[in-house]
Amino acid sequence: MKRLIAILMTLIMVFGLSSAGACAAEPTWHIGLSMPTARHFIGSAVIEDKIYVMGGISGAGYLKTVEIYNTTTNKWTTGTSIPTTRANMCLSSIDQKIYLIGGYNGIYYNTVEIFDSTSNTWTAGEPMPTARASATSVAIGNKIYVIGGANPGDNPFNTVEVYDTTTNTWTTGEPMPTSRSNLTSSVIDNKIYVIGGGNSESVGIKTVEIYDTKSNTWSTGEPMPTGRSYLASSVIGGKIYVMGGYDSGRNRVNTVEVYDPKSNTWSTGTPLLGTTRNHTSAVIGDKIYVIGGDRNGTVSNRLEYLQVIPDVTTPTQPLNLTAIGGNSKVDLSWGSVADATSYNVKRSTTPGGPYTTISNVTGTSYTDTDVVNGTTYYYVVTAVSAGGESANSNEASATPQAPSTSTGKALLVITMTNGLEKEYDLQMSEVNAFINWYSSNGSGFYMFNKNFNLGPFMTRVDYIAHDKIQNFEVMQYQ
């Protein structure tokens, strides 16, 4: 009898432990410290270990509130208010600054307002060409891509506009194939995955379209299983978690679906603790945070989080780092690393280090403007993923220089890729202008005015394409 009881106890322990292990492997959402102000139609951005939640709508109307959640101390603090009340805007962070773009508070905005987290102050940037709200944005390197959205009349856009934070200028990208608003996007390896949203066909669409920022082209991904708008997405472990929203039947949902870009497939994630839309999400470390929104029909201040344990594989080191010095700047670029969620850019004034991290970026390029002309800088880059940080890339160095003040003249002989030679007799200032354009990977064409043998013409201009130049020679003679 005692032997039988011992056997039964052993079986219970074995099966009990097996069941417990299976349950422990399933991630669950947890309630965190609530945000001070209940609101929805909000935006958020991450700097280091803090989540900055801005704007939105509460029972009191449109807000200019800035509240900051410190994930390390588990405390909320208040930041300097947005200059203008705003909801349905885009937020993206680069280094220590947050860029608030567009939005709505009864009118549609095209303004760019920049929050400096180190000084807790706001400044204005160059306005976006197209006023709109309910768009989506991501930051890659020094650029912010603003995609989709809507204007007065709630007409959805397919517009792509790109803000260069270094030059404070806007350019236009290839339009998105599907016009939509109240959509979401995430970036992995310089590709922007634009997911869901609503348009005249449905309030909740399944569409996944992928924008390659290198080639300025679009492709199509596997549609999301549950079409929805007013949703949020975040990247962790090389996968995109798409959370909550408003389905095609105009129902709030707690659905979580996970997209794997490698296999172009979807899987089902752990549902949120309640149905929600108009919320925001962010990732710090191995946790996804979902904050605020319209939860079960009530404007909420809830914070819930999910700890994700991805495949723990240390990323490989980036390859082919290059550094090109310009006037008070150094342009860096390197090869992408599979599964990397970001890259640490490190710098030293001594070959071989020690290096100091100067920026964390999601793209594979960076412009260092905190440099002194005439000083040589040495750079390495590491890849970061849920599995940790890679080894250093190859070291690349550059010496920024002010434009040459050389006087006199020179012959500039340009050999084209087809073997044709172009010769120009120029002032050295003109030669230096051409060299600066070429070394900064100048886009488009460089124009040479030919002021001789005009004949019947008012002007003669040569247009030299950057990608058609094989090499060039400068022969200074005076």
Domain limits, the chain: 25-307, 322-398, 409-476
CA 27 to chain CA mean position, Å: 27
Give yes or no for a contact between 66 and 76, defined as CB atoms under 8 angstroms apart.
no
β-bridge pairing 377-385 and 342-348: antiparallel
Give the contacts of 104 (CB within 8 A, at least 6 positions apart): 86, 87, 88, 89, 133, 134
Report the length, in residues, of the chain: 478
Give backbone dihedrals phi and psi of 219, rounded to 5 degrees, phi first: -140, 175
CB 99 within 8 A of CB 114: yes
Host H or E run for residue 436: helix 428-439
Q: Give the rounded distance of the alpha carbon of 99 from its chain centre.
A: 11
Q: Within 10 A of 60 (CB to CB), how many other CB atoms are there?
A: 8
Distances (CA, A) of 96 to 118, 146, 288, 360, 407: 7, 20, 21, 10, 41
Q: Long-range contacts made by residues 268-274, C-beta under 8 angstroms, separation at least 24?
A: 268/225, 269/241, 269/243, 270/26, 270/27, 270/28, 270/29, 270/306, 271/29, 272/29, 272/243, 272/244, 272/304, 273/29, 273/31, 273/302, 273/304, 274/302
In order, the DSSP letters of 229-264 are ES-EEEEETTEEEEEEEEETTS-EEEEEEEEETTTT
Candidates 3.90.1150.10, 3.60.15.10, 3.40.640.10, 2.60.40.10; CATH matching 322-398? 2.60.40.10
* Helices H / strands E in the chain, number of each: 2, 45
317 Cβ contact list (under 8 Å, min separation 6) = 337, 382, 383, 390, 391, 392, 393
pLDDT of res. 453: 61
Which residues lie below 8 Å from residue 77, measured CB to CB, with a gap of 6+?
Answer: 67, 68, 70
Distance separating the N- and C-terminal Cα atoms of the chain? 111
Between strands 75-78 and 90-94, the pairing is unpaired
10-residue mean pLDDT profile of the chain (478 residues): values are: 40 36 61 98 97 96 98 98 98 97 97 98 98 97 97 87 97 97 96 95 92 97 97 95 95 97 96 96 96 94 91 85 92 91 95 95 94 95 90 94 75 91 87 80 73 68 85 85
∠ CA 111-116-119, nearest 5°, is 135
CB atoms under 10 Å from CB of 336, counted, come to 16
Cα–Cα dist 54/78, whole Å:
10
Question: Which pair of structure tokens corresponds to residue 99?
Answer: 């860029």
Residue 297: per-residue pLDDT: 86
Q: What are phi and psi of 270, to 5 degrees?
A: -70, 125
Q: How far is CA 102 from CA 64, 146, 475, in A?
A: 14, 9, 51
The answer to whether the pTM exceeds 0.85 is: no
Domain 25-307 sits in CATH at: 2.120.10.80
Specify which residues 171 forms β-bridges with: 162
- Report the C-alpha gap between 326 and 330 in whole angstroms: 6
If we measure between CA atoms, which residue out of 243, 265, 239, 266 comes closest to residue 256?
Answer: 243
User: What single letter denotes the amino acid at residue 422?
Assistant: K
Confidence (pLDDT) at 275: 96
